[in-house]
Amino acid sequence: MASFLDTIDFRYGGTIVEGVAKKVANRRAGKVRNPLEPLASFNWMVLSLIVLGFGVSVVATLFGSGSILGWGHGVFICVDSGESGGDTSATSWLHPHAGVNIGSADFRLCTDKPSTSQRWWYTLENLPGTVTVIAAVLITFLALRLAERQGLYTPGFATRLRVLGWFLIVDSVLTPTAKVFAAHRLWASMADGPMSFSWNVTWPYLGAGLALLSLARIMRVGSDMREDLEGVV
């Protein structure tokens, strides 16, 4: 048995223990995962779906019955009040228990023949949310591509994180402001009578923006430390 093992060692070089150690090291190296995953794959998938969906919408709007943000063929524009419509009576398919009332979620006005001004107000109401999603996905895509080329702890990656953070913070205030203003004007063009719309900061965007600013500072500190170490070496 010993001579057989010695023959293997002589033929392939090194010892069996060294060979096993190399295999273990290779397996461990193969298990090192990309630190940008699964965010990078998810971001690429979302960006691809956005581009594909936008292309299909444009083609459908130009040659079919589709519409984009209130413009196109067969447009059906609605505006919600965001306020409760009060109690309603029981329906044929829903019977509440004793002491339970049915309340409508909100008032909604709709038109299938919108005027040009109504189309503009509808676009202004829905455009900020669309721009937010597209811009956030695109900035994230650019930041991840830069991180793949240069690494995580680099000034460029920290800068793009900071840009995304400030964008979400500003958007958490501007988007609800634009939506409330446009919804108020659209409501006024469809019906007479005052209607109040609630304005609220988009707290998830605000929290995410603050978190990204802190993360950008961490990346900046890590980048400075790496540059100092490279200078020492």
Biggest alpha carbon distance in the chain? 100
Q: Is residue 196 part of a domain?
A: yes
Say how many domains are in the chain. Answer: 1
Q: Is residue 71 part of a domain?
A: yes
Q: Which domain holds residue 37?
A: 33-85+114-232
Contacts of 15 (CB under 8 A, 6+ apart): 9
Q: Is residue 203 part of a domain?
A: yes
Q: Is residue 7 part of a domain?
A: no
Q: Is residue 16 part of a domain?
A: no
Q: Is residue 124 part of a domain?
A: yes
Per-residue tens of pLDDT for the chain, all 233 residues: 545 445 544 444 445 445 544 554 555 544 557 788 888 999 999 999 999 988 888 888 888 777 787 877 777 788 876 655 555 555 566 677 776 766 666 677 888 888 889 899 999 988 999 999 999 999 999 999 998 888 888 888 999 999 999 999 999 999 999 998 998 888 888 888 767 777 889 999 999 999 999 999 998 888 777 666 666 55
Q: Is the pTM of this model over 0.75?
A: no
Q: Is residue 56 part of a domain?
A: yes
Q: Measured at the alpha carbon of residue 44, what is the angle toward residues 153 and 156, in degrees to the nearest 5?
A: 25
Q: Is residue 13 part of a domain?
A: no
Helix axes 203-232, 155-190, angle to 10 degrees: 170
